[in-house]
Structure 1
Amino acid sequence: MIRKLTIQDNKKVMEYLKEEASINLFIMGDIENYGYDKTYLDLWGEFDEGGNLKAVMMKFFNSLTAYSKGCFDVQEFAGIIKGLEGIEEFSGKASVTEKFENIQGFNLKGKRNTFLCELKGGNKLSSFPEEYKVKKAGIEDADRLVESMAVIEEFGPITQADKKRIKNKLEVKTGRAFFIEEDGIIVSAANTTAENSKSAMIVGVYTHPDYRSKGYATLCMNVLCRELLSEGKSLCLFYDNPAAGRIYKRLGFTDIGNWNMYEIGQ
């Protein structure tokens, strides 16, 4: 049986998700930060005859994230998704999302397969004399962060929705950012998102093309990682090319699974 989840289900839901807390970072973080009564967040759960959870799916604005530890009713979840409006993105661990790929009338496209890795300890992190350059962003820095990201080709166009998300995470503390500035502009940064009581997702690690090869991104990453580890949180991030993977593994990150992201066609 699949039904909408409510606050009365929270204990059971969190116990189910925390067994793979890093993989479920997005779902756990959004539940902790926004609860069950927001119009832009919906949660569904599949239960067996004994009332045990078998799968969870979350809609957050225009994106969906699905999770299960084993078998679940793919067809019924797909039917729910088909009935939703405005959904543009679908993601989750590969063993779950790939079950949706051959569902008739369910148009997944633009598949992006990435590695999910995790950092639990800081024994490979280093301190550098230049870390005095690294600053922690406040809400007053949000516009400058957006401006600095807009020149990074890999990120693509920065939309109004992106700007809103960056400002929102700094305001409600669902994420943070550390940056380096030179010549009055932010030239390098490392960000987190979806922070919860146990973990955080690292995103938006970048350096302006004119200031690369100075180790700035590494400085920002080291400061960011040490602060979060000091709070008892593990860190996660995605990467999809071996060169990036080698850099993160030098900092102590280890692979924990594969994560797929798709666009949902109309």
Structure 2
Amino acid sequence: MIKKLKEEDNAQLSEFLAEERSMNLFIIGDIEAFGYDTDFQELWGDFSESGKLRAVLLRYFEMFIPYAKGPFDVEGFGNIIKKCCSSPILSGKKEIAEQFEHMSGLNLGEKNETYFAELLSLSEIGTSDHSIKKATIEDIDRIIGLRSSIGEFKMGPNARDLLLKTFESKTGRTYYMEEEGRMIASASTTAESSNAAMIVAVCSLKEYRRQGFATAVMQRLICDMLAENKVLCLFYSNPKAGRIYKRLGFKDIGMWTMFR
């Protein structure tokens, strides 16, 4: 049985998500930040006949994340997604998200598989002499400009609105380097909760690559986050990037699949 989740379901849902806290970082962070009663976020639970929660589905704008620990009503969740959005972005733990891949009428986009890595300690983080700044809401257009120049990034039409929401809700932050007033490298967090955060959009301008600038920005971000006792997670698909992250102390904990 699938039903819409409300505040009174929070205790059961929190316990359900806690076993894989890092994998559920987006769901946990969005619940902490926005709760159960907004027009852009909804949650549904799939319950067994005995009333035990066995799966959850999050909608954040046009993005959907399912999570389960075993068999669940994939078709039921798929029907909810189809009713909510004609071209959804769906992502999640590889073995869960891929159950929706061939569902008729779901209209999923291109499939992208990435490694999911986690950082728990400060032991392997270096330091840098570069001047690293923390962005404010006034820097949003510069951040979007930098990201838009990166060929590997796919920028959706609502990218600026989502970044603005992140700044306003304090569910993410961005650190950057600049040269002569030009932003040349940056790294951001998203889905920040009380004890975890996801690192995203680590980048530098093409002409400034292989000079350690993005790594320096990452070092500052990581040090600040771990000082707040937050576990850090990130996705990567490029093995070269993976080696850099592992030198910083990240360890692979699974695979993440996105359709967009």
- Taking the aligned partners of 1:68 and 1:216, their CA distance within structure 2 comes to 39
Percent identity over paired residues: 45
Asked whether the 8 Å contact 2:29–2:191 carries over to 1, the reply is: yes
Q: Deviations over 1:4-47 (max 9, x none)?
A: 00011011111111211110111111111011110111110011
Structure 2 partner of 1:72 = 72
For 1:233-248, what aligned pairs fall within 5 Å after superposition? 233-248=230-245
For 1:176-187, what aligned pairs fall within 5 Å after superposition? 176-187=173-184
- Taking the aligned partners of 2:24 and 2:10, their CA distance within structure 1 comes to 14
- Taking the aligned partners of 2:194 and 2:89, their CA distance within structure 1 comes to 25
1:32 aligns with 2:29: no
Match of 2:162 among 156, 161, 165: 165
Gaps of 5+ in 1: none
Letter in 2 for 1:145: I
Q: 1:103, CA displacement in angstroms?
A: 3.2
1:140 aligns with 2:138: yes
1:120 aligns with 2:120: yes
Asked whether the 8 Å contact 2:86–2:106 carries over to 1, the reply is: no
Structure 1 residue matching 2:33: 3-state secondary structure = helix
- Normalised by the length of structure 2, the TM-score is 0.95
1:196 aligns with 2:196: no
Gaps of 5+ in 2: none
Structure 1 residue matching 2:222: 3-state secondary structure = helix
Structure 2 residue matching 1:22: 3-state secondary structure = coil
Letter in 2 for 1:251: L
Asked whether the 8 Å contact 1:63–1:88 carries over to 2, the reply is: yes
1:211 aligns with 2:215: no
Structure 1 residue matching 2:184: 3-state secondary structure = strand
Q: Deviations over 1:171-210 (max 9, x none)?
A: 2211001110101111001100111112101001011112
- Normalised by the length of structure 1, the TM-score is 0.93
Structure 2 partner of 1:93 = 93
Q: 1:119, CA displacement in angstroms?
A: 0.4
Q: Which runs of 4+ in 1 moved over 3 A?
A: 102-109
Q: 1:51, CA displacement in angstroms?
A: 2.2
RMSD, aligned CA: 1.5
Structure 1 partner of 2:150 = 152
Structure 2 residue matching 1:170: 3-state secondary structure = helix
- Taking the aligned partners of 2:187 and 2:102, their CA distance within structure 1 comes to 37
Q: Deviations over 1:120-144 (max 9, x none)?
A: 111110112x14x101111222222
Asked whether the 8 Å contact 1:175–1:193 carries over to 2, the reply is: yes
Structure 1 residue matching 2:177: 3-state secondary structure = strand
Asked whether the 8 Å contact 1:56–1:67 carries over to 2, the reply is: yes
Q: 1:149, CA displacement in angstroms?
A: 1.9
- Taking the aligned partners of 1:75 and 1:149, their CA distance within structure 2 comes to 36
Q: 1:108, CA displacement in angstroms?
A: 3.3
User: Mean Cα displacement is larger for which, 106-115 or 188-197?
Assistant: 106-115
- Taking the aligned partners of 1:173 and 1:237, their CA distance within structure 2 comes to 19
Seen in structure 2, the aligned counterparts of structure 1 residues 88 and 80 have a Cα distance that, compared at 3 Å, is closer
Q: Deviations over 1:46-75 (max 9, x none)?
A: 112332210000111111110001111112
- Taking the aligned partners of 2:115 and 2:60, their CA distance within structure 1 comes to 22
Structure 2 residue matching 1:229: 3-state secondary structure = helix
Asked whether the 8 Å contact 1:111–1:260 carries over to 2, the reply is: yes
Letter in 1 for 2:126: S
